[in-house]
Amino acid sequence: MSLALQKYLDDVMAYANRKQQDAERIRAELQDHLLQKVAELEAQHLPREDAIFQAIEDHGSARTVGYGLRKGFALLDVRTEGTARGFIAIGPRAVGVIAFGGVAVGLFAFGGFAIGAIAFGWLAVAALISCGGISLAPLGVALGMAVVGRIAMGMIASGGLAVGVWVPWAVDRVSLLAGDDGLRFLQFFQDFRNYAGEVGALVIVSWLFMIFPFLAGLMGAIESWEYRRIKKADPKLVE
């Protein structure tokens, strides 16, 4: 089969984001359609290359077809590759009310990078409760649990280095590691906290409120980059 057809089907299936068994069947069905279309166009004396591109064009944008083939939001979606989407989602990337994954987004999110109302992860961003290596919780409580995680930022923050409404005893009572056990460079933050006091806290909390607009801007930039990349690869894919 031609590379152009394969690439088109790859793009469709990437947008469809189906589990492997489903994906193989859908791909086979679309492939059968495209090959028959190419054969028909060739029978009308169109050169093979032109017939392939005509068949792809008539089939429609990979994005439109792929998104159409995407499954609805499942109750439970577990997968070993791609993005899991469901009420409970488990996968390398997971989006759901309860999400577990390398990148997890949900009301309750657990993962290397977790975003949610309640988030646990190496880098956890949450509105309410956030626990992880580096935790940011603008509206709730952030708890730094590991060594690096003794950086905790929030309106109410407890951790190795707490920024926000200070809880002086938090280092010893909440953090799993006491202040002196931390990485050496973190001592700088400890010292800064002691030195800066309320004013420093205010400055850092002000900075904290810029985190979400910054993250939103970053996501927008990534999306825009991805759009340009797809458009460059195949202008037909971008509507």
Partner 1 sequence: MKSLRKQTLDGNVETMLLAVLEAGTSYGYAIVKDLNERAEGILRLGEGTVYPVLHRLEEKRLVSASWRTAQNGRQRKYYRLTNKGRKALAGNRQQWHLLTVVMQKVVHSTAQLSPAPELKGASI
List of residues contacting partner 1 (CB under 8 A): 12, 25-26, 28-30, 32-33, 35-37, 58-61, 64-65, 68-69
Residue 113 CA from chain centroid, whole number = 8
- Which DSSP letter does residue 31 get? H
For the bound state, the minimum distance from the C-beta of residue 38 to partner 1, rounded and expressed in Å, comes to 11
Which lies closer to partner 1 via its Cβ, residue 72 or residue 168?
72
Q: Three-class SS of residue 56? A: helix
Largest CA distance in the chain: 82
Which lies closer to partner 1 via its Cβ, residue 65 or residue 174?
65
For the bound state, the minimum distance from the C-beta of residue 33 to partner 1, rounded and expressed in Å, comes to 5
For the bound state, the minimum distance from the C-beta of residue 13 to partner 1, rounded and expressed in Å, comes to 12
For the bound state, the minimum distance from the C-beta of residue 63 to partner 1, rounded and expressed in Å, comes to 11
Residue 206 CA from chain centroid, whole number = 26
Which lies closer to partner 1 via its Cβ, residue 46 or residue 176?
46
Q: How many CB atoms lie within 10 A of CB 87?
A: 15
Which lies closer to partner 1 via its Cβ, residue 32 or residue 223?
32
For the bound state, the minimum distance from the C-beta of residue 231 to partner 1, rounded and expressed in Å, comes to 20
Tokens 């002196």 label which residue? 180
Q: Alpha helix (H) ranges present in the chain? A: 3-16, 20-43, 48-59, 62-68, 170-173, 186-208, 211-233
For the bound state, the minimum distance from the C-beta of residue 5 to partner 1, rounded and expressed in Å, comes to 12
Which lies closer to partner 1 via its Cβ, residue 29 or residue 172?
29
For the bound state, the minimum distance from the C-beta of residue 26 to partner 1, rounded and expressed in Å, comes to 7
Q: Three-class SS of residue 19? A: coil
β-partners of residue 90 are: 78, 100
Q: Supply 161's token pair.
A: 């280095």
Which lies closer to partner 1 via its Cβ, residue 25 or residue 228?
25
Which lies closer to partner 1 via its Cβ, residue 29 or residue 191?
29
- CA atoms of 33 and 98, how far apart (whole Å): 38
* Burial (Cβ within 10 Å: 0-12, 13-18, ≥19) of residue 114: buried
